[in-house]
Amino acid sequence: MRFVSSTYSDVDRSGDPAGAAAWMDEMATWPSVRAYKDRTLDLLRDVVPLPVVDVGCGVGNDARAIGAIGVDPSFTMLTEARRRGGAYARGDVLALPIAARSMGGVRTDRVLQHVPDPSDALDEIARVLLVGGIAVLAEPDQGTLRIDGTDPELTPAIVRFRVGSINNARLGGELADRLTAMGFTDVGHESFPIELRDSALAFGLPTWPSMLVARGEWTRDEADRFLASIGPDFRYRFDVVVTWGRR
């Protein structure tokens, strides 16, 4: 059950497209998220005035910050982005509506984790970059996920459930090697820890025990025990890795 990737790979057909858009605004207010986003924008500022595209732009906050063209497959996201201002086109990271070798920079932010095959997406990003153009990719590495302050016997199953719910859960830690293998140069990466102390903000964590029950992996008693164990010392931590390289 890849419920996270299912939502963000097709927002318009998800159960709550407006909620998915609102969640992007919510996350953007977190200082730790703002830190990695600022790093991606800094890496692209020197590219302007060459054209830059923000792929999977959502509501367009980051695209507007650097004057990038925003591309997103979701009508819901693009409607809200256009209402706020900026230039946008509907498209997918696997088939960008952009000419080959026309972009000075390509940015993605938590997009490639949801695609069926990130290699196809990376090939498409490489296709649209000018020679010397830069790709700036921010992706979580769920291999770094740690949850503390919950029942120690049950928590490993919750971590496995979260990792298994995302198509490419560990991609953030792999992108530097992938870009190097593709012939990108000046490849670099930097990790940014995201830490949450409120379980209600932890990407739906309070709903996961019931999902494990529905899958037959937990009993109702185990689900209730895990939820009851969430206390004031709760901590949910993982890294977002910003990776960059020149074509």
Residue 179 maps to which CATH number?
Answer: 3.40.50.150
Q: What are phi and psi of 183, to 5 degrees?
A: 95, 5
The boundaries of the domain holding residue 41 are 3-143+166-195+240-246
pLDDT in tens, 134-164: 999 999 999 999 999 999 999 999 999 999 9
Quick check: is 226 in a domain?
A: no
DSSP states along 100-149: TT-EEEEEEES-GGGSS-HHHHHHHHHHHEEEEEEEEEEEEEEEEEEEES
Quick check: is 160 in a domain?
A: no
DSSP secondary structure code for residue 150 in this structure = S
Res 229: pLDDT: 98
Q: What is the mean pLDDT of residues 198-222?
A: 97
Three-state DSSP state, 62 = helix
pLDDT in tens, 211-237: 999 999 999 999 999 999 999 999 999
pLDDT in tens, 89-128: 999 999 999 999 999 999 999 999 999 999 999 999 999 9
* Average pLDDT for the chain: 93
pTM, whole model, 2 decimals? 0.91
Please give the tally of structural domains in the chain: 1
Quick check: is 204 in a domain?
A: no
pLDDT at 16 over 80: no
Task: Please give the distance of CA 229 from its chain centroid, rounded to a whole number.
Answer: 28
Quick check: is 93 in a domain?
A: yes
Inter-CA distances, 234 with 3, 98, 202, Å: 23, 45, 10
Q: Where are the alpha helices (DSSP H) in 147-204?
A: 155-164, 175-181
pLDDT at 4 over 90: no
Res 5: pLDDT: 45
Quick check: is 208 in a domain?
A: no
Quick check: is 96 in a domain?
A: yes
